[in-house]
Amino acid sequence: MPAPPVAIIVLHWRNYTATHRCLTNLCALDYPNVHIIVADNGSHDGKFWRLVQEFPAIETLEYATNRGFAAGINPAIRRARELGSAFVWLVNNDVTLAPTRSPA
């Protein structure tokens, strides 16, 4: 049975270092059917475009102003649903994830 499609959504706001580390971890995940979406919450510091260039396979959304958490995440969730994602995983940009998990 194929792996269900999962969208992983990261909200970015003026923390290039944390978001870069998070995206690096997400890109290393051992899951075959994942789509990563990064929503920039009106950073305007120029560093979001560095992320866009460094992670060209990741879909990005950019907002003109900081909408807060819920209003920043909701358009990305709508996009994930448009893509047919079976699951949506909201990930804070300051988390570090292990690429695989061994059975207990």
Residue 39's pLDDT band (boundaries 50, 70, 90)? very high
Mean pLDDT for 18-40 is 94
Burial 5-33 (b: 16+ CB within 10 A, else e): bbbbbbbbbeebebbbbbbeebeeeeeee
Report all structural domains of the chain as residue ranges with CATH numbers, in order of start. 6-91 (3.40.50)
Strand order, beta sheet including 6-12: 59-62, 34-40, 6-12, 87-91
Residue 97's pLDDT band (boundaries 50, 70, 90)? confident
pLDDT for position 102? 47
Residue 95's pLDDT band (boundaries 50, 70, 90)? confident
Alpha-carbon distances of 75 from 27, 29, 56, 60, rounded to whole Å: 22, 24, 20, 11
Mean pLDDT for 54-62 is 96
Residue 49's pLDDT band (boundaries 50, 70, 90)? very high
